[in-house]
């Protein structure tokens, strides 16, 4: 599979020269079956979703978007997705929702995307769109086997995804606030077990985490420990703090040069080929 990192920042976009090298768009990952095909599976719809249109060479998007949760930084690219907002688009969107209030998933999404907060609602996106709830378990989307697991994170239901094409597996856990900084979350470790690639929330450093633990995110050190416990091939530090500059991300990566698992820092616009 070919994995396009279209947005790697957390919480809010980070414009400016000091963020240019690692990127300022928020969470979005686009997956294609191989290097010669267009992405058909998108994980999250942060502002990085705007980059997906450029990967389609003028074509409409026809595929599936899976949301990990409905926080702003994971959905704000939706109304600016040019390849999805056109008459010939065909988009299936799935998201975790409580279901206790009787609202349809599209209505939950519309709470943050409708007047007076935004000029249009999700139902007004052009093309054929469907909006569905997703539950933990094993599913099939766009020719991939996708395992869904609940992930601890403040402010609403949140899930992580494992995407498998029969040869390689990538795990995506961009927002993860474990109940305790001293204990790895068993569900996340199991989701990542033996995966080739783990994209994991690394918004904080170990030094910052005690004062920010209540925000509901992980440290880079916790992300690496999770990957090591799960036996993954490589950990990709993801969901960078919006104030973390390129120079600071360079220094963060230096911490893990001798780690017992391969570690990289996610870079917006980069492509990870897993063959």
- Confidence class for position 130, pLDDT limits 50, 70, 90: very high
Please report the pLDDT score of residue 208 as a whole number: 93
Tokens of 170: 């990538």
The span from the CA of 15 to the CA of 44, in Å, is 20
**Across the chain, where does the E strand assignment appear?**
2-7, 28-32, 41-43, 62-66, 90-95, 128-133, 137-141, 144-150, 159-164, 169-173, 197-201, 234-238, 262-265, 271-273
Please report the pLDDT score of residue 20 as a whole number: 97
Bridge partners (DSSP) listed for residue 262: 234
Please report the pLDDT score of residue 95 as a whole number: 97
Please report the pLDDT score of residue 275 as a whole number: 66
Range of the domain at 259: 2-273
SS3 106: helix
**How confident is the model over 6-62, as pLDDT tens digits?**
999 999 999 999 999 999 999 999 999 987 789 999 999 999 999 999 999 999 999
| Percentage of the chain modeled with pLDDT above 90 | 89
**How confident is the model over 241-267, as pLDDT tens digits?**
999 999 999 999 999 999 999 999 999
Please report the pLDDT score of residue 213 as a whole number: 85
Please report the pLDDT score of residue 102 as a whole number: 77
CATH of residue 210's domain is: 3.60.15.10
The span from the CA of 203 to the CA of 73, in Å, is 13
Q: Kindly report the backbone phi and psi dihedral angles of residue 201, in degrees, each rounded to the nearest multiple of 5, phi listed first.
A: -45, 125
Tokens of 253: 């990566």
User: Do 35 and 2 contact (CB within 8 A), yes or no?
Assistant: yes
Overall domain count for the chain: 1
Nearest to 95, CA basis, from 84, 83, 111, 80: 111
Please report the pLDDT score of residue 204 as a whole number: 96
**How confident is the model over 194-238, as pLDDT tens digits?**
999 999 999 999 999 888 888 889 999 999 999 999 999 999 999
Please report the pLDDT score of residue 13 as a whole number: 97
Tokens of 3: 């994995």
The span from the CA of 94 to the CA of 82, in Å, is 19
Would you list the DSSP string of 133-161? Answer: E--SEEEEETTEEEEEEE---SSS--EEE
The span from the CA of 188 to the CA of 263, in Å, is 18
DSSP 24: -
**How confident is the model over 170-201, as pLDDT tens digits?**
999 999 999 888 899 999 999 999 999 999 99
């Amino acid at each position: 599979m070919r994995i396009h990192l279209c947005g790697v920042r957390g919480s809010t976009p980070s414009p400016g020269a000091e963020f240019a090298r690692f990127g300022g768009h928020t969470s979005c990952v686009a997956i294609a079956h191989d290097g010669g095909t267009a992405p058909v599976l998108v994980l999250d719809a942060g502002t990085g979703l705007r980059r997906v249109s450029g990967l389609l060479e003028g074509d409409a998007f026809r595929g599936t978007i899976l949301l990990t949760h409905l926080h702003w930084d994971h959905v704000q690219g939706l109304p600016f997705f040019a390849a999805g907002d056109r008459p010939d688009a065909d988009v299936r969107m799935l998201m975790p929702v409580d279901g206790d209030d009787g609202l349809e998933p599209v209505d939950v999404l519309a709470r943050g995307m409708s007047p007076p907060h935004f000029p249009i609602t999700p139902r007004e996106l052009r093309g054929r769109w469907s909006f569905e709830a997703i539950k933990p378990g094993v599913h099939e989307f766009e020719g991939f086997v996708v395992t869904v697991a609940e992930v601890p994170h403040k402010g609403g239901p949140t899930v992580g995804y494992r995407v498998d094409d029969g040869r390689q597996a990538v795990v995506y856990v961009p927002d993860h606030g474990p109940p305790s900084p001293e204990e790895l979350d068993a569900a996340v470790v199991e989701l990542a077990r033996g995966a080739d690639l783990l994209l994991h929330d690394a918004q904080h450093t170990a030094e910052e985490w005690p004062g920010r633990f209540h925000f509901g995110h992980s440290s880079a050190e916790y992300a690496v420990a999770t990957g090591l416990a799960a036996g993954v091939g490589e950990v990709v530090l993801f969901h960078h703090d919006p104030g973390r500059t390129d120079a600071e991300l360079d220094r963060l990566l230096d911490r893990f040069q001798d780690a017992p698992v391969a570690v990289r820092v996610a870079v917006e616009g980069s492509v990870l080929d897993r063959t």
